[in-house]
Structures are given as structure tokens and as C-alpha cells.
Amino acid sequence: MSKPSPEVYEQGKGMDAHNKVMREVRSRNDASHDPREPTRVWLDEDNTPDGVYQSLTIILNTGGCRWARAGGCTMCGYVAESVEGGSVAHEDLMAQIQHCLDHEAENADEQSGLIKIYTSGSFLDEREVGAETREAIAETFADRDRIVVESLPDFVDREKVRDFTGRGIATDVAVGLETATDRVRHDCVNKYFDFADFEDACEEALAAETDSTEAGVKAYLLMKPPFLSESEAVEDMKRSVRKCAGVEGCHTVSMNPTNVQNYTMVEELYHGGGYRPPWLWSVCEVLEDTADEDVIVVSDPVGHGSDRGPHNCGDCDDRAQRAIKDFDLRQDPDVFEQVSCECEATWEAVMEREKSYSLPLAR
């Protein structure tokens, strides 16, 4: 990618322009949400440094991501599902937690060893989740083995993380790094921090470890943000996985293929014929190529097989998704040798010929 001159940013055509567009797009949303109901909750299985766990995933409905309120990331529509007003009361957030516990009791034979809590923003931002609520949640799940909490690097603080490790819960901070390439993160994703800030967050998380309880970071990467060709996106992910693997404290990388969410710049581009979600073959390629790195690499393609989600031709999407899920749990790249389809030839042509100034080459 070419490097723009500083004048481009001074003229307001960089992050300020992205934010202006994003605020206009988000203003079209007029939905309202119940502050006592979580956005989503589900049961699944997840690979961790301690093995595979049954997991309870919770997306709390908070006042929304602080950065999204300013404009935010080009692909993220989660703020459209958040409560208006910028904050949710402690009692309401704990009611959401109880709703999730009830869901687990009704749908699982046993208690989940892994709890994953997301806010579509930053759990460790005390504007979204206050200290009282954070401590109450830590106490609620003190009998579980491991917990994941989501945060931008700014809010990762060892004392906040110790609310969990101090109660004997192994703790991972999920950081939406998106890419290890600062320019891609700034110009394609519209995220303001640098890779050095991610490294600092890993250091803070590690510092929260106790003699008996570990802490670390789970990096979330974004496969194919807008303005990258398919091949550029694949190479960026391979490079990013390897760079994350070299950071002390980062033990897991979760690669999220972009899906087209409502009220986002990506949706605007998609409807204008300027964006196609990544091929599932691209996800398989990155996972297979980075399988030997000293880090757990997983992916959970949301909306796979749909036009708005990562997809191949339609015939092989479910087979590719099963291979990806199998790899997540076993970390064995041989699973991808068992999936093939005629559309691989189309994907290979896209990888070779698609350019970022004329994408997408195929829908």
C-alpha cells in the first residue's frame, strides 16, 4: 500500500472524515433496547491454554463503545444495539447477568468452565461497566475456571484485572487489535491506537497474574476490512498472527472475518457494490499457514454462507465452516485437506487478479 502525505490527514480526509461518515450512518438507527436484557447469550465450546471448555458467552447491553459514539470502526454495528444515554445502572447490568445464568441453567447439563463477557465496547471502561459492577461480576463467577473480558487497550489496567485473578479466576483480556499493521488499523478500520498500545496492554494483563492464577490477552483480528483486496487481506492476517505470537502475554489469536453489519461504512460500500466479505477459503488459508506459530489461532466466521457474511460459492460453505470449527478445537491443519470445491479456482483467480482500486472482482 502506498503511504499518503501528512497533508491528507491535515485536510480532514483521514480519521476525521471516517468519523463524520460513521456518525451520519449511525444516526439512521432509531431502535431502542431494554437495559435489563443482554444483547445476546449462548453456549459453545472454546479452545484455551488450559484445553477445550464449554463456554457461556455473554454480550452485555451497555451504553455502548466510547469510540463508536465518536464515529467508530468502519465495520462495527454493535453500538446500534446499545442502550441510549451512555450508561446502564448497576442493578440493570446485574439483571442481565442473572438472565444469562438462567439461560445456562435451562440449556446446559453442567456449569460452564469458561465465561466470556463482551460489551460491544470495553468491559474495563468504567463508563460502560462501573467498578461496583465489575467486582460483583467477578464475585458471581468466582467458582468458574476462566473468564474472558473485552477491552480496548486504553482501559487494560492490572488492578482491574486483579478483581478476577485475585479471586482465583484465570483471566484473558480480549483486545480488538484488528491488525498488527498500524496503517490498516487507522485507515481501513478507523481505530485510533497503535500496535505499541496493544503491547502495553499485554504487559498490564500479565502484571495481574498471581502465584496461582494466570492472566493474558486474546487478540481479535479482522479479516478483510474495507479497502483491501482479498490477497492483501490474507497477507495482512498472516503477518498479524505472527506478530501477535511474538508478544509476551498474547496466547490466543481469534481471526474474525468481516460480516456486513447494519449502520456501518462497510454496509454502505456493500450496497454500492464496493465490498465483498472474505472468502472462507481465505480463512482456511490463513489458519493452515499459521498453524505452526506458538499461539492458539481460531476463527468463528459469523454469518458464514450468507451474502453479508464470509462465503464461498454456496455449495461448500458449510463444509468449509465445519473444517474451521474442527481446526479451532484440534489445531490440526490437516482438516483443510478434506475440503475442496470447484470454486477454489475462482478464489485463486481473485487472489491473483483483484486489486484494491477495483474490488470486488467477484461477488
Q: What is the CATH number of the domain that holds 347?
A: 3.20.20.70
Minimum mean pLDDT among 62-66, 187-191, 254-258: which range? 62-66
- Interval 249-279: pLDDT, tens: 999 999 999 999 998 999 999 999 999 999 9
Q: 360 lies in a domain?
A: no
pLDDT band (50, 70, 90) for residue 32: low
Q: Which domain holds residue 338?
A: 6-353
Structural domains counted in the chain: 1
Taking the C-alpha atoms of residue 148 and residue 161, their distance in angstroms, rounded to an integer, is: 10
Taking the C-alpha atoms of residue 361 and residue 275, their distance in angstroms, rounded to an integer, is: 10
Closest C-alpha to 297, from 312, 286, 282, 310: 286
pTM, two decimals, is 0.90
Q: 359 lies in a domain?
A: no
The burial of 130, by beta-carbon neighbours within 10 Å (0-12 exposed, 13-18 middle, 19 or more buried), is given as: middle
pLDDT band (50, 70, 90) for residue 360: confident
Closest C-alpha to 277, from 223, 342, 235: 223
Q: 1 lies in a domain?
A: no
Q: How many residues does the chain have?
A: 363
The type of residue at 74 is T
In sequence order, which ranges of the chain are alpha helices (DSSP H)? Answer: 6-10, 15-26, 66-70, 90-107, 131-140, 158-165, 182-184, 195-206, 230-245, 265-271, 280-289, 317-330, 344-353
